[in-house]
Amino acid sequence: MTSESTSGPGPGLLPPPRRFNISPRLMTTGAIIAVLAVGAVGGAGANRYIQKHRPQAVLLLEPAPIAQLKDRSPVAIKGQVAEVFGNKFILQDDSGRTLVDTGPRGEGGKPVAKGETVTVQGQFDNGSIHAIVMTRADGTSEAFGPPRHPHPEHGPGDRPGPRADRGPGGDPLPPPPAR
Encode the chain (179 residues) as per-residue pLDDT tens digits: 555 555 555 566 777 777 777 788 888 999 999 999 998 888 888 887 776 666 555 567 889 999 998 888 889 999 999 999 888 999 999 999 999 998 887 777 678 999 999 999 999 988 899 998 899 999 888 888 655 555 555 555 555 555 555 555 555 666 667 76
Which pLDDT belongs to residue 29?
93
Question: Which residues lie below 8 Å from residue 153, measured CB to CB, with a gap of 6+?
Answer: none
Pairing of strands 128-136, 96-101: parallel
Which pLDDT belongs to residue 116?
94
Output the CA–CA distances (angstroms, integers) from residue 86 to 29, 53, 54, 113, in the order listed. Answer: 59, 25, 27, 11
Q: What is the 3-state secondary structure (H, E, C) of 4-22?
A: CCCCCCCCCCCCCCCCCCC
Q: Are 120 and 76 in contact (CB under 8 A)?
A: yes
Q: Are 87 and 104 in contact (CB under 8 A)?
A: yes
Which pLDDT belongs to residue 89?
93
Which pLDDT belongs to residue 9?
58
Which pLDDT belongs to residue 56?
56
Which pLDDT belongs to residue 79?
95
C-alpha 44/C-alpha 67 separation (Å) is 42
Closest by CA position to 147, among listed 64, 85, 72, 67: 72
Which pLDDT belongs to residue 157?
52
Which pLDDT belongs to residue 155?
52
pTM for the structure as a whole: 0.52
Sign of CA dihedral 125, 128, 132, 135: positive
